[in-house]
Amino acid sequence: MEREKIHIPVLKEKIIEYLKPKKGEKFIDATFGGGGHTKEILKKIKPEGKVLAIDLDEELVKIGKENFKEEIKKGNLILVQGNFKNLKEIAKKYGFNKVSGIIFDLGLSLWHIEKSKKGFSYRRDEPLKMVYSEKEAEILARDIVNRFPRKEIEKILKEFGEEKYASRIAKEIIREREKAPIETTLKLVEIIKKVYPKRSFRRLHPARRSFQALRIAVNKELENLKKALPQAIDLLKKGGKICVISFHSLEDRIVKNFFKEKEKERKIKVLTKKPEVPSLKEKKENPRSRSAKLRVAQKI
């Protein structure tokens, strides 16, 4: 499988512009995905430089090991399956402390939507899982919609999806699951469409926010991000940079507030007073990049 088919790296040039990777330096890519950002960094830091790349999805790690066989063999890339909430522990294991830069690309890989068959897409009929690592999963999306109380489902949709029809969708889910379990993505989409005003269909897919909310809840994405950011600062050397690409307001708020707090503590200097966003050209070439925001800070 070609790496570019898995994921088109967002804000690739901006990341390189901020990180300024040099030969022999060490970097951590906490969200490897299709390896787009790692690939660009490796070009600049070889032959002695190293990247520790982490991904939660076992399948993506397997594909990455095939695509980056040469880089792994030469010791420039160490690719491991793991959760970035354990960033320090993983970095220590592979001798990555005092690194020059750390990247978090919090976007959903194109591979997850088009190839994984895990229920991330609201346009395909797949089992309602929405989990990156089945090995580490505590719950699946189908557990939430079939077992959770109405108020809890409503809370998840409202908090993690910022879904204004959360209450009506939760009620409809309860009504439908009493008839039969909700096991597939398209069954859930059908339920959401029932309560969504038709006039809204043209702007955004009615299931988009609900799917986002369930994915965040299942994978504890916001909780894990809050755990990982302080660890990342500790792992940076003086002058090292942290780059975080977020794709919705909840993630961006966490990063913005964390950076603000650490800047007050004089631990970092924020380099992006306003987040960097993709150019019109990039948005046109890669429509999935349209909501991306990059925030960068430097350890002092």
Per-residue confidence in pLDDT tens, the chain, 300 aa: 344 345 678 999 999 999 999 999 999 999 999 999 999 999 999 999 999 999 999 999 999 999 999 999 999 999 999 999 999 999 999 999 999 999 999 988 888 988 999 999 999 999 999 999 988 889 999 999 999 999 999 999 999 999 999 999 999 999 999 999 999 999 999 999 999 887 766 667 899 999 999 999 999 999 999 999 999 999 999 999 999 999 999 999 999 999 999 999 999 999 999 999 998 898 888 887 888 999 999 999
* Domain spans of the chain, in order of start: 3-111+223-299, 116-219
pTM higher than the cut 0.85: yes
Q: Which fold has domain 116-219?
A: DNA polymerase; domain 1 (1.10.150)
pLDDT of residue 298: 98
Do the Cβ atoms of 148 and 131 come closer than 8 Å?
A: no
pLDDT of residue 134: 85
pLDDT of residue 142: 98
Domains 3-111+223-299 and 116-219 share a fold: no
Instruction: Tell me the residue ranges of DSSP E strands in 56-188.
Output: 77-81, 99-105
Do the Cβ atoms of 130 and 218 come closer than 8 Å?
A: yes
Task: Please name which of 1, 111, 135, 128 lies closest in space to residue 58, comparing C-alpha atoms.
Answer: 135
Domain 3-111+223-299 annotated CATH 3.40.50.150: yes
In angstroms, rounded to a whole number, what is the distance separating the alpha carbons of residues 31 and 136? 16
DSSP-based helix, strand, coil % in the chain, nearest 5: 50, 15, 35
Helix 208-219 and helix 185-195, axial crossing angle in degrees, nearest 10: 130
